[in-house]
Amino acid sequence: MKSPATDTLRIVITGASGFIGRQLVPRLKSMGHDLLLVGRDSEKLERAFPGMKVSGYEALAEKGGNFNLLVHLAALNNNATGDEMAFRQVNVELFADVIEKARQAGIPRLLNITSLHVVDGSGSPYACSKRTALEIARSAVGMDVLNIFLPAIHGDSFSGALSAASKLPRALRPPALTVLSAFAPIVHVDRLADFISGEAMRWEPGEDVFLADGNSKNPVYRAGKLLIDLLFVTAVFVLFWWLLIIVWVWIRADSEGPGIFAQQRIGRNGTPFTCYKFRTMRLGTAERGSHEVSAEAVTRIGRLLRKTKIDELPQAWNVLRRELTLVGPRPGLPSQSQLVSERSKRGILKVRPGITGLAQVNGIDMRDPVELARWDMRYLAQQSLLADTKIILATLLGSGQGDKVKLPS
């Protein structure tokens, strides 16, 4: 991250009359920031936000001078009706025009507010148009662009997938949101306002940032996750104890050395713990990340164990000790200082690491610490019982083959 932002920002906001903007603008104004609201209809903006500075898109290059941040909210959202051309006109062509006018105005940083739908593989006109906009954002020159991915957003009112909550009595809305967020991620508009006000000017340009309320303190999610962990531990030690013995004997017979491999890993809050796995490498192999170890160091049975992920089963003991959970960011080694640093600044170390995770089922391993930390951050934003179940099923169906070893030169 860069040096801390100043206390007061001069912020241009497009699409301020939309659902997010109507809740975000008053919050940013109350924080003392100087705002310029930009839209297609200046008179509509003046009626919605009396006394505030407004502008049409055509005057952005002129009126945006001396502003240091642009928050792009303008979009044709996924709940809107329209053909591919309609989505492209707003989400692609307008976005490209906003970037150009912001560059002409000398605005140094732009926050492109987008949705998790863009990265979940959806083929909707909305998702396709926003993916094209992402390509434009990542290739922009002359200004820094951060892409901010949000799940369903809520605040003083509700919209989209959360609109049903508005029909409940006010006293029932918080517990209802607790239950809903346990199964699908959400984010409060205050989280976005706080990010814009403080963190937005500290991130390195080109980053993808995923914001969500997070489920680490959600009692429904925690209860469900604990149940999943206990089912896993029970299955390993009660149903498959015989498999553990067979594999241990086979490893001992196949090569010299112990059947169980113990290694220090970085756990929650950066606390080291001893992680247990079936040994898949020859005795004397250096304790490094798998990507730094030659494939020749893997034993004959080790190749099978790694491919089938059976080598991970002894980690059920770590799950029982609450050092690991079944689904979470894979724990790194103490020697992987860059990975520890990247995870620390993204808040990844605040959660319990896991045996399998979003990055692993998508083929991302520890050879690229920055990319891995980005995927870990994406997991935290998507974290829910539904998302965890999908990762478990993907793991069982063979997605990801464990950390890749170094190929012979």
pLDDT, tens digit (0-9, with 9 covering 90-100), for 250-267? 999 999 999 999 999 999
pLDDT reported for residue 190: 96
Contact status, residue 351 vs residue 268, Cβ threshold 8 Å = yes
pLDDT reported for residue 407: 41
What are the tokens at 353? 């690491």
pLDDT > 70 in the chain, percent: 93
Query: Taking 60 as the threshold, does the pLDDT of residue 20 lie above it?
Result: yes
Please report which confidence band the pLDDT of residue 399 belongs to, taking 50, 70 and 90 as the band edges: confident
The CA distance from 118 to 91, in Å, is 12
Query: Taking 80 as the threshold, does the pLDDT of residue 89 lie above it?
Result: yes
Mean pLDDT of 230-242: 97
What residues does 264 pair with on adjacent strands? 274
Q: Based on C-alpha coordinates, what's the Rg of the chain?
A: 24
Contact status, residue 148 vs residue 72, Cβ threshold 8 Å = no
Please report which confidence band the pLDDT of residue 288 belongs to, taking 50, 70 and 90 as the band edges: low
Kindly report the number of other CB atoms within 10 A of residue 172's CB atom.
11
The CA distance from 216 to 224, in Å, is 12
Please report which confidence band the pLDDT of residue 85 belongs to, taking 50, 70 and 90 as the band edges: very high
Mean pLDDT of 310-334: 96
Question: What are the pLDDT digits (tens) for 186-231?
Answer: 999 999 999 999 988 888 888 899 999 999 899 999 999 999 999 9
pLDDT reported for residue 203: 87
What residues does 278 pair with on adjacent strands? 260
The CA distance from 218 to 179, in Å, is 8
Query: Taking 90 as the threshold, does the pLDDT of residue 274 lie above it?
Result: yes
pLDDT reported for residue 389: 97
3 state SS for 224-258:
HHHHHHHHHHHHHHHHCHHHHHHHHHHHHHHCCCC
Mean pLDDT of 325-337: 95
Mean pLDDT of 302-331: 95
pLDDT reported for residue 400: 65
The CA distance from 24 to 40, in Å, is 19
- Look at the pTM and tell me if it is higher than 0.85: yes
Residues 6+ apart with CB under 8 A from 195: 148, 209, 211
Identify the weakest region by mean pLDDT among 150-164, 219-233, 259-273. Answer: 150-164
Identify the weakest region by mean pLDDT among 76-80, 110-114, 257-261, 368-372. Answer: 76-80
Query: Taking 50 as the threshold, does the pLDDT of residue 408 lie above it?
Result: no
Domains of the chain: 10-213 (3.40.50.720), 220-396 (no CATH)
pLDDT reported for residue 267: 97
